[in-house]
Amino acid sequence: MLYSVDDKKKFLKENLSAKRYQHSLNVADECRKLAVKYGEDPDKAYFAGLLHDICKELPEDEQRALVLESGFTVCREELETRSLLHGIAGAYFIKKNFGVEDIDILNAVRFHTVGRAGMSRLEEIVYLGDLVSAERDYKDVDRMRRLVYTSLNAAMLEAFVFSIKAVIKKGGVIPACTIEGYNFYTRLLKTDKNKKQTK
At 22-71, the pLDDT tens digits run 999 999 999 999 999 999 999 999 999 999 999 999 999 999 999 999 99
Mean residue pLDDT across the chain: 95
Angle ∠(49,122,55) on CA atoms, nearest 5: 35
Q: What is the CATH number of domain 6-198?
A: 1.10.3210.10
The pLDDT score that the predictor gives to residue 3 is 82
The pLDDT score that the predictor gives to residue 199 is 63
Distance CA 152, CA 144 (A): 11
Residue 85, classified by CB atoms within 10 Å of its CB into exposed (0-12), middle (13-18) or buried (19+), is: buried
> Collapsing DSSP states into helix, strand and coil, what is residue 158?
helix
Q: What is the mean pLDDT of residues 67-87?
A: 97
pLDDT digits (tens, 9 = 90+) for 161-196: 999 999 999 999 999 999 999 999 999 999 877 777
In whole angstroms, how far apart are CA 32 and each of 36, 60, 108, 115, 128? 6, 30, 14, 19, 12
Q: Using an 8 Å Cβ cutoff, are 163 and 178 in contact? A: yes
Q: Which residues contact 182 (CB under 8 A, 6 or more apart)?
A: 157, 160, 161, 164
Note the pTM of the prediction, 2 decimals: 0.95
Q: What is the mean pLDDT of residues 156-164?
A: 96
Q: Using an 8 Å Cβ cutoff, are 153 and 184 in contact? A: no
State the first-to-last Cα distance of the chain, in angstroms, to the nearest integer.
Answer: 46
Instruction: Write the DSSP symbol of residue 171.
Output: T
**Domain boundaries, given as residue ranges, for the chain:** 6-198
Q: What is the mean pLDDT of residues 126-133?
A: 97
Q: What is the mean pLDDT of residues 79-94?
A: 97
Question: Per-residue pLDDT for 1 more than 90?
Answer: no
Q: What is the mean pLDDT of residues 105-134?
A: 98
